[in-house]
Amino acid sequence: MRPVRDTVAKVPVDIDVDRERITGLTREFRQRSRATVKDRWHAVRYNLLLALQAAVAAGAAWVGSHELFGNESPVFAPISAIGTIASSVGQRFRRTIELIFGVAVGIGIGDFLVFLAGSGPWQLGLIVFLSIVVTIFLGGGPAVVTQAAATAVLIVALAPQQANLEFSRVIDALIGGFAGLLVIALVLPLNPLRVVDRAARPALDRLTEELTETAEALRTRDAARAQAALDRLREVEEHMQSFEDALEGGRETAILSPVRWHRRGALSQYVESSEYIEHAVHNSGTLIRRAVTVLEDDEPVPETMPNAVAMLADAVRLLRKDLGIGVEPEAAREQALHAIDQAGRAYDAGVGFSGSVVIAQVRTTGSDVLRATGIERTEANRLVRLAAGGRAGDATQAAAQAAREQRTDPRGPKR
């Protein structure tokens, strides 16, 4: 009987374990659901103007083809307009040209083969195959290939029922593409600086948060906390591609839209800073990785080491803020120099091997921030040496003077 009692006694324990597991899974599901809804709502808000642009462009394309050219059913015009709007930001003008080129290729191949072989299933397959092969041979990208193949299909499928389809298809492609560009450039142009800032925010905010977390991990000697910050930092790499795409879109809008030309100066500052922002992300990863090793190896952590990392985080935060509103990033520059000063003091206080790498990465990332604020390379290196020697105040004054000189240099800033 004893084995039976033992089995019965274990049942409540197993039930409790299962209940805790189910409760934990339910809690995790609720948290993910809330995060997903929040992320989706953010995505909707971010793309609201894009949806409005597509709606206006589609309506304008329909009206243009129907009223101006008498096309009774101008289906392809709004489709072309939406294709132009929905294409990758920064590639819309190219998308329009590709769309028109793809239509022309598809019509040429479709007409030629229908004339030779007629229309039917096997002719349709052959025409699609040849359209794709010829378009690729001519150097067309995915958008051109898709348009050529789709147009060839329409020629084969609809030509017997609708006369002069070729002409209306070309006209619709032209009207739709240029209606999309018109909406982008004049009717509802995006603010290029805002587009770039929104795209940069996730990457730079994440970088700021993880540097701050690393500083706290160093203060509390919590290696697990630093490792978690390092793991989350990998998300920054995912956001950087969106940032690069937004820079292309900002340049496109600043070129196409006269009402946004006044943003060219502020946008160019962001564009010139992007290279050094990317360097700062990579160097911060090395910094945090070595901070984990410092804690795992129980190396000394002078108080000024976490101070340096925290100040570096503030410098990144201030950099994004100033670039986003298009002002001179003086505050970010000053904070980066103070971070380098604190790093120099930490080195003087005594650190281990990995600690010395953390100090070096604070200096390197601080230099990246200085470059992103518009300081040229030689001057940035001089300021880093000055700040690391305990003369952050002198370095700040020198940085301000260097920035003024570069702004007034008729040859433009030296990067």
The model's pLDDT over 251-264, given as tens digits with 9 standing for 90+, comes to 666 666 555 555 55
What confidence tier does 151 reach under pLDDT thresholds 50, 70, 90?
confident
Single out the residue in 123, 156, 187 at which a domain terminates: 187
Confidence (pLDDT) at 182: 79
Q: Which DSSP symbol is given to 227?
A: H
Residue 396's Cβ-side half-sphere holds a number of Cα atoms within 13 Å equal to 17
- d(CA 83, CA 89) in angstroms, rounded, equals 12
Mean pLDDT for 14-30 is 57
User: Which of 342, 319, 332, 351 minimizes the C-alpha distance to 389?
Assistant: 342
Exposed, middle or buried by CB within 10 Å (0-12, 13-18, 19+), for 374?
Answer: buried
Higher-scoring residue by pLDDT: 108, 344:
344
Per-residue pLDDT, 243: 74
209-250 tens-digit pLDDT: 999 999 999 999 999 999 999 998 887 777 777 777 766 666
pLDDT at 401 over 60: no
Q: In terms of pLDDT, which residue wins out, 238 or 159?
A: 238
| pTM score of the predicted model | 0.62
Q: Quote the crossing angle between the two packed helices 165-182 and 142-158, to the nearest 10°.
A: 140
Mean pLDDT lowest among 119-133, 242-256, 271-285, 364-378: 242-256
pLDDT at 374: 84
pLDDT at 204: 86
Average pLDDT, the chain: 76
pLDDT at 306: 95
Residues 302-342 pLDDT 10s: 999 999 999 999 999 999 888 877 778 888 999 999 999 99
Q: Which of 187, 217, 233 is the last residue of a domain?
A: 187
Q: Judge if 317 and 260 occupy the same domain.
A: yes
Shared domain for 196 and 278, answered yes or no, is: yes
Neighbouring CB atoms inside 10 A of 29's CB total 10
- The contacts of residue 324 (CB under 8 Å, 6+ apart) are 193, 197, 200, 201
For residues 121 and 1, the model is more confident at 121
Model pLDDT for residues 53-68, shown as the tens digit of each residue: 788 888 888 888 888 8
Are 106 and 216 members of one domain? no
Q: Answer yes or no: is pLDDT of 202 > 90.
A: no
The CA-CA-CA angle for residues 391, 393, 397, to 5°, reads: 120
Cα within 13 Å of Cα(324), Cβ side: 18
In the prediction, which pLDDT does 413 show? 46
- Which residues constitute the domain of residue 388? 192-408
Q: Rounded mean pLDDT of 348-369?
A: 92
Residue 414 in domain? no
Our count of domains for the chain comes to 3
Q: What would the mean pLDDT of 174-197 be, rounded to a whole number?
A: 75
Question: What is residue 323's predicted lDDT score, i.e. its pLDDT?
Answer: 83
Question: From the CA atom positions of the chain, what is the Rg in Å?
Answer: 30
- Cα 295 to chain centroid distance, Å, stands at 33
Residues 53 and 132 in one domain: yes
Is residue 321 domain-shared with residue 400, that is, in the same domain?
yes
201 and 316 housed in the same domain? yes
DSSP conformation class of 88: P
> What pLDDT is stored for residue 24 in this prediction?
60
Q: Can you give the pLDDT at residue 11?
A: 45
- Please indicate, yes or no, whether residues 302 and 353 belong to a single structural domain of this protein: yes
Query: What per-residue confidence (pLDDT) applies to 410?
Result: 42
Residue 362 forms part of a structural domain? yes
CATH code at position 244: 1.20.58
**Ramachandran category for residue 189: left, alpha or beta (phi over 0 → left; psi -120 to 50 → alpha):** beta
